[in-house]
């Protein structure tokens, strides 16, 4: 009888561990996350994406869903409104909140002369080759954000082919970015990697350290709002299309569909320039070669 007494002790240990180690302690500590998950089940996230698209043209549904959900959840919890239906009501009535929300959840990272080596290829290889046969050029900055890429292209063209008419179009979903791009105003941070001599030739320095594009540069560029996936293929094709750091946050389906649209928009012999962390999934299938790193040419 004395030997049987310790038998219950082992059975008590797992029960004790279960009691003091809850399986998901972070979730019980964050009621906002639970509310957000419930909203997702009710498809409120999709409804919020549609609302944002209607309000400003930005289609959050094109981004990778897990990443976008995480950004939205973090932001709405920080604002104290994890219920997406209630937050949607706020966005309808508060334009400042909509601007703050978009700044947080969308990607508008850019600066003048970003990935300068690609602009060097444009200057030394692409422009000289294209202008041997073409008397004017059309260049598209697809996903132009606030215009840093388009104005850099314009400056390179003025330096390299000053006698050739060049039309540069910038397109972005975000009407706020398009409005900013039309102003041609950049901060000192935007110009941090820019060649100083070229900045001085093509931009006016400001008292705060920023820069403004000169009138002759502004005349070369035109910006408009538009959905890259839904815009009609232009009747007059482009000689060069830049679409850099735009698709890396998109789903594979959206990425591939967008690349196909961009290739359709290219004239034969035209170039597609993508970001240095991006690639076209099936270049041969789209009739592309890759003469330079992250730069494709249409046959």
pLDDT at 17 > cutoff 50:
no
Residue 23 has pLDDT above 50, yes or no: no
Average pLDDT, the chain: 85
End of a domain among 74, 105, 136? Answer: 105
In the chain, DSSP finds a helix count (H) and a strand count (E) of 14, 10
Task: With a cut of 50, say whether residue 25 has pLDDT above it.
Answer: no
Q: Give me the percent of the chain exceeding a pLDDT of 70.
A: 84
What tens digit of pLDDT does each residue of 54-104 get? Answer: 887 677 877 778 888 888 999 999 999 988 999 999 999 998 898 888 877
Q: How far apart are the C-alpha atoms of 54 and 58, rounded to whole Å?
A: 8
Distance between CA 105 and CA 46 in Å, rounded? 15
CA–CA dist 68, 65 (Å, integer): 5
Is 68 inside any structural domain?
yes
C-alpha–C-alpha distance, residues 241 and 260, integer Å: 12
Residues 135 and 208 in one domain: yes
The reply to whether 214 and 80 lie within a common domain is no
Share of the chain above pLDDT 90, in %: 60
Q: Determine, yes or no, domain membership for 261.
A: yes
Is there a single domain that holds both residue 136 and residue 81?
Answer: no
Q: pLDDT per residue over 122-137, tens digit each?
A: 999 999 999 999 999 9
Average pLDDT over residues 256-266: 95
What's residue 27's pLDDT?
Answer: 41
Regarding whether 179 and 136 lie in a shared domain, the answer is yes
Residue whose token pair is 């030739």: 201
For 169-227, the pLDDT digits (tens) are 999 988 888 999 999 999 999 999 899 999 999 999 999 999 999 999 999 999 999 88
Residue ranges in the chain assigned as alpha helix (H): 8-20, 25-28, 31-41, 44-56, 65-78, 84-93, 95-105, 116-121, 127-130, 148-160, 175-183, 196-202, 215-218, 252-264
Residue 187 and residue 209 in contact, taking contact as beta carbons nearer than 8 Å: yes
Same domain, 128 and 242: yes
Domain count, the chain: 2
Q: Do 69 and 160 sit in the same domain of this protein?
A: no
Within 8 A by CB and 6+ apart from 19, the residues are none
Q: What is the pLDDT of residue 26?
A: 44
200: three-class secondary structure by DSSP: helix
pLDDT attached to residue 11:
47
Residue 141 within any structural domain of the chain = yes
Tell me which of 53-57, 87-91, 152-156, 282-286 is least confident: 53-57
Residues 271, 123 share a domain: yes
Q: Are the beta carbons of 286 and 280 closer than 8 angstroms? A: yes
Contact status, residue 211 vs residue 190, Cβ threshold 8 Å: yes
Residue 181 lies in a domain: yes
**What are the angstrom distances between the C-alpha of 158 and each of 9, 123, 194, 239?**
84, 10, 16, 16
Answer yes or no: do 128 and 207 share one domain.
yes
| Same domain? 80 vs 228 | no
The strand order across the sheet containing 238-243 reads 221-225, 166-172, 137-142, 238-243, 266-274, 295-298, 288-292
Classify the C-alpha dihedral 219-212-248-101 as positive or negative: negative
What residues make up the domain containing 218? 116-298
The answer on 216 and 169 residing in a single domain is yes
Final residue in a domain of this structure, among 105, 132, 155: 105
Enter the tokens of residue 251.
């789903």
In a domain, 110, yes or no: no
Domain boundary, last residue among 45, 74, 105: 105
CATH number at residue 146: 3.40.50.150
Considering the domain architecture, whether residues 142 and 274 belong to the same structural domain is answered as yes
Q: Are residues 127 and 241 in the same domain?
A: yes
């Amino acid at each position: 009888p004395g030997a049987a007494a310790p038998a219950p002790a082992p059975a008590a240990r797992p029960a004790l561990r279960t009691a003091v180690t809850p399986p998901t302690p972070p979730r019980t500590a964050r009621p906002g996350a639970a509310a957000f998950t419930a909203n997702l089940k009710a498809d409120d996230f999709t409804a919020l994406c549609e609302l944002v698209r209607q309000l400003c043209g930005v289609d959050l549904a094109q981004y990778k869903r897990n990443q976008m959900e995480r950004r939205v959840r973090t932001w709405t919890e920080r604002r104290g409104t994890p219920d997406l239906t209630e937050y949607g009501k706020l966005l309808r009535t508060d334009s400042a909140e909509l601007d703050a929300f978009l700044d947080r959840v969308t990607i508008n990272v850019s600066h003048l002369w970003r990935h300068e080596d690609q602009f060097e290829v444009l200057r030394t290889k692409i422009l000289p080759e294209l202008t041997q046969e073409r008397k004017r050029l059309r260049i598209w900055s697809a996903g132009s954000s606030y215009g840093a890429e388009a104005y850099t292209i314009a400056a390179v063209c003025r330096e390299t082919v000053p006698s050739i008419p060049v039309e540069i179009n910038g397109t972005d979903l975000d009407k706020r970015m398009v409005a900013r791009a039309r102003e041609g105003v950049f901060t000192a941070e935007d110009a941090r990697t820019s060649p100083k001599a070229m900045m001085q030739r093509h931009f006016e320095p400001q008292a705060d350290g920023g820069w403004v594009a000169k009138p002759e540069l502004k005349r070369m560029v035109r910006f408009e709002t538009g959905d890259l996936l839904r815009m009609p293929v232009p009747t007059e094709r482009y000689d060069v299309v830049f679409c850099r750091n735009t698709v890396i946050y998109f789903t594979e389906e959206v990425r591939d569909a967008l690349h196909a649209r961009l290739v359709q928009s290219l004239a034969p012999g035209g170039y597609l320039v993508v970001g240095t962390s991006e690639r076209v999934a099936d270049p041969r299938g789209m009739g592309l070669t890759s003469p330079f790193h992250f730069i494709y040419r249409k046959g």
